[in-house]
Chain A
Amino acid sequence: MRFKLLTMFAAALFLSACASKSDENAGGSNDGTAASTDQSSSVSSSTIQGPQPGTLEHLLVNVGDRVFFGYDQSDLSADSQKTTEALAVWLNSYPAVTLTLEGHADERGTREYNLALGERRANSVRDYLVALGVNPSRLQVVSFGKERPAVLGSTEEAWAQNRRAVFAVN
């Protein structure tokens, strides 16, 4: 749900950036008195090309904000490793950013074990980031076990989406 909303938000930002760009082009076709306006609008258009760098929206567009795990697994798959590597690069570009890594589980387990499993998943991401050179002091870890599903419903697809670690920009 949240993923969808954020994606839509990012898409909206992108669209509004395009819209202002075409406005600017339209402005550019005006007569000479608009020349100074043209200059100022071309400056402002470059700042709304996409999400503000270093934000969660920016992370979503450039890296994604989560990785997924197999049933009762906490190892990073090849895909998850790639995402985490991209996350490390992104974090290196924005050294002021700190993250909370949230571990989650699907509903097909017991409450307490799933809290521990979520913690282990979040730490798989953390450990890999640290191995890739990210300063551990920038990373916090929390687990919500099976209590905060991202996708509703009792289906294999929902469970697969809910076995996840989410990167939350602090």
Chain B
Amino acid sequence: MNLLMNIRNLVLAAGATLGMIVASVPAQAEINVNISQGFVQPLPVAVSDFQGGQPEDQLIGRDIAGVISANLERTGLFRPIDSKAFIQDANSLRVGVRFGDWRLINAQALVTGTTQVLGDGKVQVEFRLWDVYAENMMTGYRYTTTRTNWRKVAHQISDAIYTRLTGESGYFTTRIVYVSETGPQNRRQRRLAIMDQDGFNHIFLTSGRFDVFTPRFSPTSQEVTYLSFEGNVPKVMLLDIQSGREEVLGNFKGMSFAPRFAPDGNSVIMSLADKGNTEIYTMDLRTRKFTRLTNHPAIDTSPSYSPDGRKVVFNSDRGGSQQLYVMDANGGNVNRISFNKGRYATPVWSPRGDLIAFTRISGGKFFIGVMKADGSGERMLAEGYHLEGPTWSPNGRVISYFKQGKSDSRGQVKSKLYTIDLSGYNEREVVTVLDGVDPAWSPLLQ
């Protein structure tokens, strides 16, 4: 809980003292990374260790540079240059950037910075992003925060760099909640866990005494809704990850599952199953009132709102097999949007509103794909024996999901979290302590 408190402090501290070093950025930047095309040649960047007067400052400075470098590298859009190749040493950067030295090693962009541990347990961090060829500063910020929050500052700097170079908001100051798994299939222990998007600051949220699945972040608060098998009855739960307080949301005589927050955070949409019929309902978190949206003898589940809250995409077998449908938020005007071969499942609306990510099952394989909200422009991004449960980075650029392998006759099985760029390139494993399934990406933390 300390960490969570610290992050909250940082939010306050950073909000209060964040100052932009440059009032305005050049109207015409010479370098920028076009991320709307498919495969891009990664842009060579140099991230210099952040400098400080004291050894302590230097240590934090090196760690911050390391986190920034790793974040940029993982996007697949940037290629950090090995610091052994640097000609200008970090210390002399405080005097001034010798752009020629950086051009010699083919750096297009350069990140420099300073760190200073202040007397009151706080640290001040500054960074500057330079265009090596135009020989100008592209952006720069100063942050003051408690020392233990240096990692979050490094993520915020990464976001600022990403935004300046790509023109899109970043996704580094985010967390992923997921289900950590271990053990054979028939005795698999499952615990909710949360971590930074880069896998650090890992915390377990549940004990593992009962199965948990499909956690999803609130867009507006530090809350997660998830499915619990506690007492052998599947129920939708609401958990406050700061206080640890939790309650049953889907308290209903049948079972409740497949929860997801509405974009305003005021309601949770979910499925309730009773007498062999699964329907979609919303629950108003203030009045606790259920409203039924679907009314069909078929299975209607895995609902996800459009970011404007006006539509809901879900999967249903009303047409004979599991397919994707879009309806108005009041349940009217239902239209099927998936028409290719196979079954379609777990649709999730992009935070940008233009695309829907989904799981597809066809020809004995599982796929993660995207299509436009009207069902056109379908593309598969990843495939394998079993892939499931896409979730979007808050900028709508990266998709995370899990992959599960075949299990052997003793029930030994591997499941791992992955991310992939919307282009279908740059698939990366998100390294977790144990196995992992059901990732859900948080909104950008302020």
Contact = CB atoms under 8 A, between A and B. Distances in A.
A148 B184 CA distance: 11
B233 interface: yes
A135 interface: no
Contacts of B273: 115-116, 119, 143
B314 to A, nearest CB: 10
Interface in A100-157: 107-113, 115-117, 119-120, 122-124, 126-127, 141-144, 147-149, 152-154
B257 interface: yes
A108 B361 contact: yes
B411 A152 contact: yes
B255 A110 contact: no
Interface stretch (B168-176, B261-269, B402-410): B402-410
A152 B187 CA distance: 11
Contact of B388 (A111, A117, A123): A111
A1 interface: yes
A61 B345 CA distance: 40
A24 interface: no
Given A142-B234, A153-B409, A111 B438 contact: yes
A153 to B, nearest CB: 4
Nearest to A115: B257
Contacts of B317: 72, 113
A74 B273 CA distance: 15
Chain A binding site: helix, strand, loop or mixed by DSSP? mixed
Nearest to A125: B276
B229 A147 contact: yes
Given A123-B276, A141-B254, A144-B229, 12 more contacts: A1-B186, A72-B321, A109-B322, A112-B257, A113-B299, A113-B317, A115-B258, A116-B301, A120-B299, A126-B276, A152-B408, A152-B409
**Which 4 A/B pairs are nearest by Cβ-Cβ distance?**
A123-B276, A154-B406, A152-B411, A116-B278
Interface of A: 1, 72, 74, 107-113, 115-117, 119-120, 122-124, 126-127, 141-144, 147-149, 152-154
A112 B185 contact: no
9 contacts: A110-B345, A110-B346, A111-B346, A113-B317, A115-B257, A116-B299, A123-B275, A147-B229, A149-B186
A1, A108, A109, A112 interface centre (most CB from chain B within 10 Å): A112
B214 A111 contact: yes
B247 to A, nearest CB: 21
Interface in B385-409: 385-386, 388-389, 406-409
Contacts of A123: 275-276
B299 A147 contact: no
A135 to B, nearest CB: 16
Given A107-B386, A123-B275, A123-B276, A112 B407 contact: no
A110 B302 contact: yes
B426 to A, nearest CB: 25
A113 B234 contact: no
A119 B302 contact: no
Contacts of B359: 110
A152 B184 contact: yes
A37 to B, nearest CB: 47
Interface of B: 184-186, 211, 213-214, 229, 232-234, 254-255, 257-258, 271, 273, 275-278, 299, 301-302, 315, 317, 321-322, 343, 345-346, 359, 361, 385-386, 388-389, 406-411, 438
Contacts of A74: 276
A142 B233 contact: yes
B255 A143 contact: yes
Nearest to B386: A107
Nearest to A127: B276
A20 B345 CA distance: 57
Contacts of A110: 302, 315, 322, 345-346, 359, 361, 388-389
A120 B409 contact: no
Contacts of B346: 110-112
A113 B344 CA distance: 10
B407 A153 contact: yes
Given A123-B276, A142-B234, A154-B407, A113 B315 contact: yes
B256 to A, nearest CB: 10
B186 A116 contact: no
B355 to A, nearest CB: 19
